[in-house]
Amino acid sequence: VDPQDIWRKDRDHFVHPWTHFDSFKQDGSLVMDRAEGAYVTDISGKRYLDGIGGLWCVNAGYGRKEIVEAIAAQAMRMPFYNPFVDTTNVPAAELSAKLASLAPGDLNKVFYTCGGSTANDTAVRIAHYYHARRGKKSKMHVISRIDAYHGSTYLTGSITGRPGDRSPYLNFLDGWIHHVSSPNFYRSEKARQEDMSEAEFCDHLVQELEDKILEIGADNVACFFAEPIMGAGGVIVPPPGYHARTLEVCKRHDVLYISDEVVTAFGRLGHFFASKDVFGIEPDMIVTAKGLTSGYQPLGACIFSDRIYDAMSAPDPDGWFTNGYTYSGHPVACAAALANIALMERDDICGHVRKMGPYLEKKLNELLDLPIVGQVRGKHFMMCVENVADKATREHLPDAANIGKRISDHCERLGLIVRPLGALNVISPPLTLTEPQIDELVGILRKGIEAAMQDLRQ
């Protein structure tokens, strides 16, 4: 294969997700070609440690024969069959039972989609249908949070609260979707101005959610979306008690609590699901994707409670639950998920993350001795480094410094992939990383930050 030829075809015909067209036309793309363990190799043969696990998803690592063989076997046996109403397939049924056994409380029902966005879209439609079936048709509004990322369909793009992602083209659901504050204590202007402690900040956030529900009218609010730790918004860990207390507010007002675990599930925080095992809550729905198959197949799932199902499944004189995709419960994707979960259990990957996560956190925290590293945050294998101009004021470097991208570019040159997000660099590696690989990752990241600092001095 001629790398130049691939590069040209890509530039001329493949419209990538989230494209900044100007820079894409200038720089083109890095063409990744092969992968093994925690490393990816580009088409020219250069190898990189994958510090982002593909895109927060290759949890079990690359080259897992068990998953590949399960995919091939299922594709050969029966690649696909209609999943609607009265037909099913073995992997979809098996996986549903497995997910019900792993999910907390009475979250025993699973609706499959092709990824995280469509699973969140489905969660809203389930919430609407659930309330309507109980005679509460006015419960249609959705509350989310600034900095949240929930996907890229029209609906989930509108629920998303990351300022840069909410383009003017997404204002079409305005009035139905509301955003309360980000739980980012480090960056909260209000907490700074009012000299709040983290506990007071949490009180404020909980009160703000309740006030928002009352302002819209509890009879009009369907659901509240929250990632246990916000991912694309900047790896934001909420103050202690935040999830339990916001869940309590939701329960009080008959608002469904939807935990978006597209990133946090399947071991990234050391457990199959973080809602219960890390944050101690049993939400009404958990949405997941990514690590469900370790990225080997596209698959999303909305896992919801028996209580919701019971209301939805009572006879409906007005119609039926009109949500579904050709590929809901795709047998090959479900077979990949089953093999992925089996190997995670066999190798105790969650246990490995609970053991190595604190080591990754400790090593990344050592970067705080660098003058531009303002904060290292996250948990276990979901981490980020926030770069600043001034540690005391937390002022950001000028946009022109393009610091996150500058650091990522240096890391790439040095053989490490980390993801730039504005002033941040995100680290979400495969969960199999060993201690020497963590040392390698943090060592290169340090050199990348130092090289970027050197550029800025020139």
Rounded to 5 degrees, φ, ψ at 374 are -85, -40
Closest CA to 210 of 199, 221, 226, 198: 221
Q: 22: exposed, middle or buried (C-beta count within 10 Å: 0-12, 13-18, 19+)?
A: exposed
* Sequence-distant (≥ 6) Cβ neighbours of residue 437 within 8 angstroms: 38, 49, 429
Nearer to ligand PLP, 18 or 21 (CB): 18
* Sequence-distant (≥ 6) Cβ neighbours of residue 23 within 8 angstroms: none
CB of 67 to ligand PLP, least distance (A): 18
Are 361 and 378 in contact by the 8 Å Cβ rule? The answer is: yes
* Sequence-distant (≥ 6) Cβ neighbours of residue 74 within 8 angstroms: 91, 331, 332, 335
Reported for 244-250, long-range contacts at CB under 8 A and 24+ positions apart, including other chains, are: 244/279, 244/280, 244/281, 245/202, 245/206, 246/205, 246/206, 246/209, 247/281, 247/283, 249/206, 249/209, 249/210, 249/213, 250/209, 250/224
Which residue of the chain is nearest ligand PLP when measured via CB?
116
CB of 103 to ligand PLP, least distance (A): 17
Residue 187 structure tokens? 């960056």
**By CB under 6 A, residue 384 contacts ligand PLP:** no
Which of 205, 235, 263, 265 binds ligand PLP (CB under 6 A)? It is: 263
CB of 140 to ligand PLP, least distance (A): 21
CB of 335 to ligand PLP, least distance (A): 19
Nearer to ligand PLP, 260 or 284 (CB): 260
Which of 260, 268, 273, 337 binds ligand PLP (CB under 6 A)? It is: 260
Which of 109, 125, 141, 150 binds ligand PLP (CB under 6 A)? It is: 150
Which of 116, 267, 295, 329 binds ligand PLP (CB under 6 A)? It is: 116
CB of 445 to ligand PLP, least distance (A): 21
Q: Taking CB under 6 A as the criterion, which residues in 267-306 touch ligand PLP?
A: 289
Nearer to ligand PLP, 231 or 378 (CB): 231
Q: How far is CA 219 from the centre of its chain?
A: 30
Burial 114-136 (b: 16+ CB within 10 A, else e): bbbbbbbbbbbbbbbbbbbbeeb
Nearer to ligand PLP, 202 or 226 (CB): 226
Give the interface size with ligand PLP as a residue count (CB under 6 A).
14
String marking each residue 207-246 x if it binds ligand PLP according to CB under 6 A:
--------------------x---xx--------------
CB of 149 to ligand PLP, least distance (A): 5
Q: At what angle do helices 435-457 and 349-365 cross, to 10 degrees?
A: 30
Q: 102: exposed, middle or buried (C-beta count within 10 Å: 0-12, 13-18, 19+)?
A: middle
Which of 28, 37, 115, 422 binds ligand PLP (CB under 6 A)? It is: 115
Residue ranges of the alpha helices (H) in 15-139? 21-27, 53-56, 65-77, 90-102, 116-133
**By CB under 6 A, residue 121 contacts ligand PLP:** no
Nearer to ligand PLP, 191 or 292 (CB): 292
Residue 288 structure tokens? 């997941």
Nearer to ligand PLP, 83 or 116 (CB): 116
Nearer to ligand PLP, 37 or 324 (CB): 324
Nearer to ligand PLP, 148 or 373 (CB): 148
Nearer to ligand PLP, 289 or 453 (CB): 289
Which of 59, 74, 96, 117 binds ligand PLP (CB under 6 A)? It is: 117
* Segment contacting ligand PLP by CB under 6 A, of 88-96, 144-152, 199-207, 211-219: 144-152
* Sequence-distant (≥ 6) Cβ neighbours of residue 203 within 8 angstroms: none
Nearer to ligand PLP, 139 or 290 (CB): 290
Binding site for ligand PLP (CB under 6 A): 115-117, 120, 149-151, 227, 231-232, 260, 262-263, 289
